[in-house]
Amino acid sequence: MRKITLIFQLLALCFGLSAQQELMSTQFMFNKMSINPAFAGQEKYTGFTVMVRDQWNGLPGAPKTQMLTVNLPRIQDRVGIGFTLKNQSIGIFRQTTFGGIYSYKFLLGDGALLSMGVEFNARNFVADFTDPALVATQGIPNDPSIPQGKQSINIFNVGYGVYFNARNFYVGASVPRLIKSDLDFDTNNSVSEEVRHIFLMAGSAFPVNRELDIHTQTLLKFSENTPFDVDLSVSATLDKKYTGGLTYRTGGGRGDIGESLDLLFGFKINDQLMVGFSNDFTTSKLRSFTNGSIEILLQYDLGKKKDRIVVVNPRYF
């Protein structure tokens, strides 16, 4: 019975956290469009990015994420189009989201761009109340207030973002979901209410010499009625091919020294293909239950040629 109670608590913890945070990615700097629609059309080639994240390994019901983004080349130097497909699971809950993105860009001279973007998305949210973790044992009846079978709802939303970049730095802000929706599964009992999130991002590049660049990245995450979290990242890129970095993520509970300390690595196989890997080492009290988090990223830039593209804002940090 203690084991069942612990699993319930962990599932509740995971779902409670999911209500406070949007999609989490340690390697957000390689795929900014996933959290800011204004980044669509930032480049002059088509970019495909696949990301798989296994968060809090070893923790029952821990979050898992799979994501595909398609960033189309800029149209007439002004318009960007993109698509996102995200699948997330936390405990007995699963959500699949498809988004279509439109952005418009203002050319400010000297390589600077100001972009504004909007994303329309549709999400299917499923709760599987047949999960064995919810089945009581030792003759204890199930709580009659718990719905039976699988419950699902479809939710439509819209997000907005703004993004400015010059040759060696960028800043951006976004709200992925402007509309707050109830997740009641038509049971007249609201399971949860969506919370509006705000993302602020900024980064700088510091060329040391022709072979070595240093990059700093900051991502601030706000949500209603919760403290804000910050990702502070510094990385080095050698010969525009090899990247290694360290990220400190704030958060956790009282007395913790943050949520995690993350290592990330990137390797460009050629001018079009890049592989990224990150390992998050949990520093909060959750470290007693988990081996950390792992994230793998694959990026393919169709049509990108070394002698054809002048990169205004390098994406390989």
Q: Are strands 93-109 and 112-128 parallel, antiparallel or unpaired?
A: antiparallel
**Which tens digits make up the pLDDT trace of 258-287?**
889 999 999 999 989 999 999 999 998 888
| One-letter amino acid for residue 48 of the chain | F
Q: Which amino acid is at 101?
A: I
65 within 8 A of 96, measured Cβ to Cβ: no
pLDDT at 189: 57
The more confidently predicted of residues 1 and 235 is 235
Q: What is the pLDDT of residues 217-255, one digit of tens each?
A: 999 998 877 778 899 999 999 998 999 999 999 987 777
- Look up the CATH number of domain 2-302: 2.40.160.40
* pLDDT at residue number 58: 84
| Higher pLDDT pick, 109 / 39 | 39
Q: What is the mean pLDDT of the chain?
A: 84
Q: What's the pLDDT score for residue 10? A: 44
Assign 14 a pLDDT band (cuts: 50, 70, 90). Answer: very low
- The 8-class DSSP code of residue 75 comes to B
* Model confidence band, residue 5 (pLDDT cutoffs 50, 70, 90): very low
> 66 and 130 in contact (C-beta within 8 Å)?
no
pLDDT at 192 over 90: no
Note the pLDDT of residue 13: 44
Share of the chain above pLDDT 90, in %: 55
Q: What residue type is 197 in one-letter code? A: H
Q: Where are the beta strands (DSSP E) in 92-228?
A: 93-109, 112-128, 150-165, 169-175, 182-183, 192-193, 197-207, 212-223
pTM of the model: 0.83
| Of the candidates 279, 298, 266, the residue with the CA atom closest to the CA atom of residue 68 | 298
Answer for the pair 20, 223: CB distance below 8 angstroms, yes or no. yes
What residues have CB less than 8 Å from 141, skipping those under 6 apart? none
Tens digit of each residue's pLDDT (9 = 90 or more) over 131-151: 766 665 555 555 665 666 788
- pLDDT per residue over 151-160, tens digit each? 888 999 999 9
Query: 260 near 280, Cβ under 8 Å?
Result: yes
Q: Between residues 49 and 229, which one has the greater pLDDT?
A: 49
pLDDT, residue 167, reads 87
Residue 117 tokens read as 């973007």
Rounded to whole angstroms, the Cα distance separating 89 from 253 reads 23
